[in-house]
Structure 1
Amino acid sequence: MSNIAIVIEERAADIGNFLVGRLLPFRQKRMVGPFIFIDHMGPDTISEPHFMDIAPHPHIGLSTLTYLFEGSIMHRDSLGNAVEIKPGAVNWMTAGKGVTHSERTPDYLRSTQHDLHGLQIWVALPKDLEQMEPNFVHIEEPQLPHWTEDGVSYRLIAGEINSHRSEVPVYSPLYLIEIKAEKDSRIKLGEHLYGESGLYILHGSVQAEGQEFGPKQILVAKDAKLCEFEMKAGTSVYIFGGEPFPEQRYIDWNFVASDIETLKIARNKWEQHEFPKVPGDDGYIPIPPVNPTLGQRKS
């Protein structure tokens, strides 16, 4: 009996001035554990006028996680943080009751061609923390747990698995693990996983239950404890998941909440310019038309 519940293909999505590959939400699978949104950026070369310029925009009810493979992003937020995100570091911003931030190509890269490649992820907050005070943490690559077994390299980007725990301050049981194989390898993680689990293939190929899967695909397991697969040499994958919430989550634009009324209030707040400002960045992204289903993000 197959343990693969669904295979999700990356879809193109326009986020303003360039295209990304959207992985979550998907019409048949809105969330995997607390993970509610995943975009794959790049690895297309970014050159003028196609550098990243995402003006100040708001979030509620979630934490954003940015993890780059190549390139750089300048993060500024309404808490006063101004941090350059570089490959291997984790940018973790918890919106709670409301935060505003911008993401732009650093000034020193705007006159040269460069690659921008990485993942942008939203993790929904538990219901009792949806209105928490916003906060921000930046974790450099050396601070992340890293280990090697039988020629396979593991890095725990966020959460907890087995005896390893990331310093990223998550608010519910979850995990985001980077796995890279130098040689053909068999991976058995099931006994360490919990809740719902997804596997995203960045490079190379994975074999599971007699089938082969390639880049830009997510495999969602029916039972995380049965997670077992083979990686070809040179393959990189990301396993993410955790305990699902008992309540449904709704998405409207950049807002996540367990009830629709909260989304309506946030939408009105942004339209009335009542969210906090970003020091050093006076841009503004107008909110798109209301999404009648409030079931998926409108860009």
Structure 2
Amino acid sequence: MSHSGMIIPERSRDIGDFLVGRLLPFRKKRMIGPFIFIDHMGPVILGPGRYLDVGQHPHIGLATLTYLLEGTIEHRDGLGTCQRIMPGSVNLMVAGRGITHTERTPEPMRNGSVFTLHGYQIWIALPKLQETMEPAFFHAEAADLPRWKTQDASYNLICGKAFGKESPVPHYSELFLMKVKTGGKVDLNLAEGVQGEIGIIVVSGTVRACGNEIPVGSILYSKHGETCTISCDAKTHLMVFGGEPLPEERFIHWNFVSSERAKIEAARQAWNRKTFVMMDGEKSYIPLPESKSPLKN
């Protein structure tokens, strides 16, 4: 299989109480368009003794996008935002020059009931000119997002532009993120409706491309300008994302992304010294992982 038909497998990563499936970055393909990090959360059963509790942590140089298939997460951040995200809605937090946030199971759901959490945590690298912009937060309800149907496949545009549609969720470079579900068996040429590189996550169902069946949970990558026709069985569910690559290399270290290593080092130092702008009234603090400085790689 050529580089343009690369399959990126999901790899398990431990993030405290949870095992997640890490999709990006991958050693042979660090980014797809401006997308630099994708974690697949769950599906995991939550309930008494096991809830999502991600304490206060920082970001720079990126936008975080949370999209759930099942469950609920409460997002709080340094702008004073308190927003629950439900399946189909979108939380986009633009870190810019720096912001901190928490992600938790809402208090009213910690009542002894059991529920499933399943979704995607996505980081989009900001263009160089927007890397140090003022932090911002945006929420869109599921009903606000463009939906359409063609060829026995239904499309839901989460962010960016595709097939002549545009999502109300802000985007800062040429990109797209959409959910595609098939009714019956269908061949899809996704390159007809988008610009740039394409990543296809097989959430469920069966997908074939270039003579290969793509394992559920993995990404099929198609490089810029290549036709990307895939054969999907009935009831197949995809997340499709990508766009134009950013012109400069991006460095990633822990929760920090930048085109300049010095900005990452400055953010590391600020977080260690607790001079990073913190959330009001939030006592939790996730320390910097013990690792070498990105300046000494």
Q: TM-score of the superposition, structure 1-length normalised?
A: 0.95
Matched-pair contact (CA < 8 Å) for 2:207–2:214: yes
Alignment partner, residue 279 of structure 2: 278
Alignment partner, residue 206 of structure 1: 207
Query: Residues of 2 paired with 1:59 and 1:95: CA distance?
Result: 6
Which shows bigger deviation, 287-296 or 155-164? 287-296
Matched-pair contact (CA < 8 Å) for 1:60–1:98: yes
Dislocated runs of 4+, deviation >6 Å = none
Matched-pair contact (CA < 8 Å) for 1:96–1:130: yes
2:6 alignment partner, SS class: strand
For residue 201 of structure 1, what is the amino acid of its counterpart?
V
Query: Residues of 1 paired with 2:296 and 2:165: CA distance?
Result: 34
Is 1:243 the counterpart of 2:253? The answer is no
Query: Residues of 1 paired with 2:185 and 2:225: CA distance?
Result: 22
Alignment partner, residue 57 of structure 2: 57
For residue 152 of structure 1, what is the amino acid of its counterpart?
A
For residue 18 of structure 2, what is the amino acid of its counterpart?
F
CA 1:233–1:291: 2 relative to 1, 3 Å: farther
Structure 2: tracts of 5 or more residues without a match: none
Alignment partner, residue 169 of structure 2: 168
> By how many angstroms is 1:244 displaced?
0.4
Query: Residues of 2 paired with 1:242 and 1:11: CA distance?
Result: 23
CA-atom RMSD in angstroms: 1.7
Partner deviation per Cα, 1:208-243 (whole Å, 9 max, x = no partner)? 122211311101113444011111111100111011
1:44 alignment partner, SS class: strand
Matched-pair contact (CA < 8 Å) for 1:192–1:225: no
Alignment partner, residue 35 of structure 1: 35
Partner deviation per Cα, 1:51-89 (whole Å, 9 max, x = no partner)? 110001000000000000000001000000001111000
Paired residues for 1:1-299 under 5 Å = 2=2, 4-110=4-110, 111-291=112-292
Partner deviation per Cα, 1:129-171 (whole Å, 9 max, x = no partner)? 1110000000000000000113211000000013100001110
CA 1:224–1:232: 2 relative to 1, 3 Å: farther
> By how many angstroms is 1:128 displaced?
1.1
Query: Residues of 2 paired with 1:86 and 1:294: CA distance?
Result: 39
Query: Residues of 1 paired with 2:207 and 2:71: CA distance?
Result: 26
1:43 alignment partner, SS class: strand
For residue 21 of structure 1, what is the amino acid of its counterpart?
G
> By how many angstroms is 1:292 displaced?
5.0
> By how many angstroms is 1:294 displaced?
7.1
Which shows bigger deviation, 165-174 or 180-189? 180-189
Query: Residues of 1 paired with 2:295 and 2:14: CA distance?
Result: 19
Matched-pair contact (CA < 8 Å) for 1:66–1:92: yes
Which shows bigger deviation, 125-134 or 285-294? 285-294
1:262 alignment partner, SS class: helix
Partner deviation per Cα, 1:13-39 (whole Å, 9 max, x = no partner)? 111221110000011110001000000
Number of residue-to-residue matches in the alignment: 296
For residue 77 of structure 2, what is the amino acid of its counterpart?
D
For residue 118 of structure 1, what is the amino acid of its counterpart?
G
> By how many angstroms is 1:42 displaced?
0.5
> By how many angstroms is 1:289 displaced?
1.7
> By how many angstroms is 1:5 displaced?
3.6
Matched-pair contact (CA < 8 Å) for 1:24–1:30: yes
1:91 alignment partner, SS class: strand
> By how many angstroms is 1:94 displaced?
0.2
1:92 alignment partner, SS class: strand
CA 1:12–1:267: 2 relative to 1, 3 Å: same
Matched-pair contact (CA < 8 Å) for 1:251–1:257: yes
